[in-house]
Structure 1
Amino acid sequence: MKNISGYWDQNVSNWKVANHLQIGTQAFFEEVERYRFEKLDYLPAAAGFDRYCGRKVLDIGCGLGTDTSRFASHGADVTGIDISPQAIALAKENFGWRRVPGQLLIMNGETLDLPSNEFDFVYCHTVLHFTPSPGKMVREIHRVLKPGGTALLMAINRRSWLYFLHRIAGVKIDYMDAPVFHKMDLRDFTELTAPFPDKEIKLYRFPKRTEVHKGWKAAVYNTLFVDLFHALPARMTRNTGYHMLAFVRKTDSVG
């Protein structure tokens, strides 16, 4: 896990939209948050940041604490973990200027040093495809959830529009150079989430105009591809979302 931890120590703050700002400042965190929720406009409704007031929430792979702090700001009792010490250090700074409480810990999501049947909700977004054994992480999530507790699990769809562009036009996908990068399809993701028979899988993250990339490729992408994609019938594109989200519930008392 040392290589993985070191990679994220170097890359957790590597946000191109904020590279003109001093890392760890309020302006940096605000710009990262603005860009993240503009690009992932589906996320607030899907995650339900405001639905867990007074309940125990675990964020696995919390990174800078951007999402974690949203749960906390709405009154959740949050624990955020990350394998990267640099991520946890920055997340603590993020929580500090926001003045929200939370427990932020350096920890491996595949071997959680946390009690069984402890959390009402586990949030695991943009993490499973970066860990060596995603199945082990899913089993740990099942273990720490209370009976009746729920989780949001996310994976990358290798049959997505973005992978199509990557293969035919060499479009860069963020963090594909990470030590681990699993590519799944709907069948793979369904099998991965087998510990949770009570689940619903939905696809999100469809093309949006880019503000990070420049030049003629960005112009073609923004003016041709994005508009053309959204003009196609939904039946042709609905299974090509880049993000697969599983909304799951623990139905038994076995940790």
Structure 2
Amino acid sequence: MNAELKPPVAEPHGESMQDGERLAAVREYWNGHVHDWKVARSPAGTREFFEEIEAYRYEKLHYLPRLVNFAAYRGRKVLDVGCGVGNDLSRFAKAGAICTGVDLAPHSIELARTNFAQRGLTGEFHVMNGERLDLPDDSFDAVFCHTVLHFTPNPQAMVREIHRVLKPGGEAIIMTVNRRSWLNALQRLMKVEIDHLDSPVFYQFTIDEFRRLLSPFAEVRIVPERFPVATKVHGGLKARLFNAMFVKAFNALPRAWTRPLGHHLMAFCRK
């Protein structure tokens, strides 16, 4: 679903039938899809498998270790909402954070547990709906939520839950997709593929819409990021032209000009 976003309003008591059906569709979709699975050459569940998809993730999202100081979370309780296979959470765990990961898809949680076991890391994992976290109020020092908010049926509910489980003064790092990004423009002009555009729910936000969505927080700073890098997931002529020409041409432009067009919006929030 790709819309001029007006996020649905959560019902005060339970999910409507429509919301329940959409949530089930989201769970089924992500049970069958793993971010960047296609780049892995090793069998799923092996240490090499996790290392291969992590290497590609941090190649295209090289801004993450620059913007997120994982080492600063040593000894702090960190929750990853929509943890997937746990590669981002593993960075917190390696730095000494006390880690909990939740995901709607049971397959992702199974892989995340295997990932941590393969690396000798400690973490707690649960199959859980991020719009309705079965976790106590004021219980985490930090919440990380990357590549998740725009795929959930009710983004407002997820933001409220993230805010609820944070301790007073706690911080949330939340990423979503910029509706006015270079990649969306390229998709419209050249019909290039965008990963997971076929998912049951796919919201996009302007910077102002995202800021309004984050209104429960006392402080919000939004940083547009994710500029062109060579794709390893897609093939064909368009992918070759993208890698050989577009990436270099776009990144040669002054970043001050292109900053608002970043495909990802990274929000740094404080309760």
The TM-score range, normalised by the shorter chain, is over 0.9
Match of 1:75 among 86, 93, 96: 96
Partner of 1:208: 229
Q: Any stretches of 5+ residues in structure 1 without a counterpart?
A: 251-255
Query: What is the aligned residue count?
Result: 249
Query: Is residue 197 of structure 1 aligned with residue 222 of structure 2?
Result: no
Instruction: Give how far 1:13 is off.
Output: 6.2
Structure 1 CA distance, aligned partners of 2:136 and 2:106?
Answer: 22
Query: 3-12 or 209-218: which moved more?
Result: 209-218
The one-character-per-residue Cα deviations of 1:196-236 (angstroms, maximum 9, x if unpaired) are: 13111101100112233333322321222112212223343
Structure 1 CA distance, aligned partners of 2:74 and 2:31?
Answer: 31
Q: How high is the sequence identity, in percent, across the aligned residues?
A: 53
Query: Is residue 179 of structure 1 aligned with residue 197 of structure 2?
Result: no
Match of 1:27 among 26, 42, 48: 48
Instruction: Give how far 1:8 is off.
Output: 0.6
Match of 1:57 among 78, 97, 115: 78
Query: Is residue 16 of structure 1 aligned with residue 43 of structure 2?
Result: no
Which amino acid in structure 2 is aligned with residue 127 of structure 1?
V
The one-character-per-residue Cα deviations of 1:91-122 (angstroms, maximum 9, x if unpaired) are: 00001011111100000011010000110000
Q: Any stretches of 5+ residues in structure 2 without a counterpart?
A: 1-22
Match of 2:173 among 139, 152, 169: 152
Which amino acid in structure 1 is aligned with residue 31 of structure 2?
D
The one-character-per-residue Cα deviations of 1:19-68 (angstroms, maximum 9, x if unpaired) are: x3211111111101111111100011222221111110000000001111
Contact 2:36 2:233 in 1 (8 A): no
Structure 1 CA distance, aligned partners of 2:222 and 2:109?
Answer: 30
Contact 1:83 1:108 in 2 (8 A): yes
TM-score by length of 2: 0.89
Distance 1:231 1:12, change over 3 A: closer
Query: Is residue 142 of structure 1 aligned with residue 166 of structure 2?
Result: no
Structure 2 CA distance, aligned partners of 1:37 and 1:199?
Answer: 24
Contact 1:59 1:124 in 2 (8 A): yes
TM-score by length of 1: 0.94
Structure 2 CA distance, aligned partners of 1:13 and 1:205?
Answer: 16
Structure 1 CA distance, aligned partners of 2:49 and 2:252?
Answer: 35
Partner of 1:117: 138
Structure 2 CA distance, aligned partners of 1:39 and 1:219?
Answer: 16
Instruction: Give how far 1:238 is off.
Output: 1.2
The one-character-per-residue Cα deviations of 1:163-203 (angstroms, maximum 9, x if unpaired) are: 01100001101011111100111111011111113111101
